[in-house]
């Protein structure tokens, strides 16, 4: 079912220049495109 909703996922290279690891992930949804309003912050514990 998820394959029908997501067209593609692009995972960019991680960046540690700020002292924290930041990695951009773009999710393109079928029939919608890329939603810029999505912002997710993940932390390892």
Whether 44 maps to a domain, the answer reads no
Whether 41 maps to a domain, the answer reads no
What local confidence, expressed as pLDDT, does residue 33 receive? 62
Whether 6 maps to a domain, the answer reads yes
pLDDT, tens digit only, all 45 positions of the chain = 778 888 888 888 988 898 888 888 888 888 776 666 555 666 565
What local confidence, expressed as pLDDT, does residue 35 receive? 64
Closest by CA position to 23, among listed 45, 2, 44: 44
Q: How far apart are CA 16 and CA 33, in angstroms?
A: 28
Domain that holds residue 8: 1-33
What local confidence, expressed as pLDDT, does residue 45 receive? 54
Tally of domains within the chain: 1
Q: Would the pTM count as exceeding 0.85? A: no
């Amino acid at each position: 079912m998820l394959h029908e909703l997501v067209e593609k996922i692009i995972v960019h290279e991680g960046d540690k220049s700020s002292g924290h690891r930041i990695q951009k992930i773009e999710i393109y949804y079928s029939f919608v495109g890329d939603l810029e309003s999505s912002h997710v912050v993940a932390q390892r514990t």
